[in-house]
């Protein structure tokens, strides 16, 4: 994504006009659909990530594909099929991909010798595919909306839905998906879904939409108000930088909510979340309490002869000695470790132990 991947492997690339772009998109999608059909796969069809309608030239093609496809065919095999479809002799250039990366970038031949057009295949899990496709549409609009989400410290808005992040201090211990329904996410952030689905003719129309929420606050977008990771990422994004320039001398009547107000907004739109939140905190606090009494440090107080690599195994053995382990620890607290070691060393039958 971004059209610069081929440069990193010293392959010359070029932009395509709309007609050329549409032609190569159709051929690429055709090959991917044929592969899925031949393999008899019932998967999501490739999704062309949409750009504003008046865009005249394209630096790359972004295609979202169902990750299930990659369980049946390799990227190299896909490139071979595309090469045959385009009657290209030789190997298509590609950027080596890390296993964790969602994007595989490669080049398709252009009308100039040894000059290619970049294609990015973006893989997506089936459960997030619809949300992912709409998040990527319209020139980084999803990222612009996500800035509002990240302003409160506990919401995360990305390709895999709107999430609530649970933290204990700086420890992020749980993420809960509030929704993977795109329309509901737009509603939550105060955006009009009909406008989104009509699409946008110009990049300025996307900017207007991104700033149309009653929760919009242009100060959130300034690089000095973003964290290091966000700044590093967004400085490279033309849409983000263009948006900064566009909002610079404009005034907005909207106002971002405080963290407490955002919390109330979550309860308002997702009323079932209150019960989920309580359950997650209860579970976390229970595990945190258990860890105070049952851990490696407590164990070596009684068994200092244990080697470091033996501690984990020994703890697992102790844990298996009683039923309802969590209740057992919370009932015995400081005596937990001594009792369990005594049980183990006296070889008592754990089935007779009723915590």
Token pair for residue 138? 């319209």
Q: Model confidence at 218, in pLDDT bands (50, 70, 90)? A: very high
Task: Name the band, by pLDDT with cuts 50, 70 and 90, for residue 101.
Answer: confident
Q: Which fold has domain 6-124?
A: Beta Polymerase; domain 2 (3.30.460)
Residue 97's pLDDT band (cuts 50, 70, 90): confident
- Give phi and psi for 66, each to the nearest 5: -70, 125
Residue 351 — pLDDT band, cuts 50, 70, 90? Answer: very low
Cα–Cα dist 83/24, whole Å: 12
Give the least confident one: 125-129, 250-254, 315-319, 349-353: 349-353
Assess contact for 315 and 273: CB atoms under 8 A: no
Cβ atoms within 10 A of the Cβ of 280, count? 16
The string of DSSP codes covering 172-223 is EEEEEEEE--HHHHHHHTT--HHHHHH--SSHHHHHHHHT-STT--GGGGSG
Give residue limits of the domains in the chain.
6-124, 139-275, 294-352
> Which DSSP category does 304 fall into?
T
Does residue 151 have a pLDDT over 90? no
Of residues 84 and 348, more confidence is placed in 84
Q: What 8-state DSSP symbol labels residue 256?
A: P
- Please state the rounded mean pLDDT for residues 80-93: 92
User: For 291-338, how does the pLDDT look when each residue is reduced to its tens digit (9 = 90+)?
Assistant: 999 999 999 999 999 899 899 999 999 999 888 999 999 999 999 999
pTM here is 0.86
d(CA 207, CA 130) in angstroms, rounded, equals 23
| pLDDT band at residue 255 under the 50/70/90 scheme | confident
């Amino acid at each position: 994504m971004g059209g610069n991947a081929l440069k990193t492997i010293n392959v010359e690339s070029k932009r395509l006009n709309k007609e050329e772009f549409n032609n190569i998109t159709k051929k690429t999608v055709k090959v991917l659909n044929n592969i899925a059909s031949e393999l008899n796969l019932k998967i999501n069809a490739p999704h062309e990530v949409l750009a504003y309608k008046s865009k005249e030239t394209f630096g790359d093609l972004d295609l979202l594909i169902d990750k299930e496809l990659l369980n049946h065919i390799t990227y190299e095999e896909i490139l071979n099929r595309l090469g045959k479809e385009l009657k290209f002799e030789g190997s298509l250039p590609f950027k080596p991909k890390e296993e964790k990366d969602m994007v595989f970038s490669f080049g398709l031949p252009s009308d100039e010798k040894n000059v290619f057009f970049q294609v990015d295949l973006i893989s997506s899990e089936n459960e997030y595919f619809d949300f992912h496709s709409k998040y990527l549409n319209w020139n980084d609009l999803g990222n612009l909306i996500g800035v509002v989400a990240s302003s409160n410290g506990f919401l995360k808005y990305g390709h895999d839905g709107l999430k609530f992040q649970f933290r204990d201090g700086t420890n992020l211990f749980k993420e809960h998906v509030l929704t993977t329904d795109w329309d509901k996410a737009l509603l939550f952030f105060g955006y009009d879904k009909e406008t989104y689905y009509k699409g946008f003719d110009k990049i300025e129309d996307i900017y207007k939409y991104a700033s149309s929420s009653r929760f919009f606050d242009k100060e959130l977008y300034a690089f000095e108000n973003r964290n290091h990771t966000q700044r590093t990422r967004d400085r490279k994004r033309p849409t983000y930088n263009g948006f900064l320039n566009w909002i610079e001398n404009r005034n907005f009547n909207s106002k971002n909510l405080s963290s407490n107000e955002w919390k109330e907004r979550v309860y308002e739109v997702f009323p079932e979340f209150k019960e989920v939140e309580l359950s997650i905190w209860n579970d976390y606090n229970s595990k945190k309490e258990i860890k105070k009494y049952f851990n490696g440090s407590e164990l070596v107080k009684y068994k200092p002869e244990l080697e470091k690599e033996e501690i984990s195994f020994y703890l697992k053995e102790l844990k298996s000695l009683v039923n309802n382990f969590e209740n057992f620890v919370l009932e015995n607290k400081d005596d937990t470790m001594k009792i369990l070691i005594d049980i183990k060393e006296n070889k008592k039958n754990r089935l007779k132990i009723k915590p």
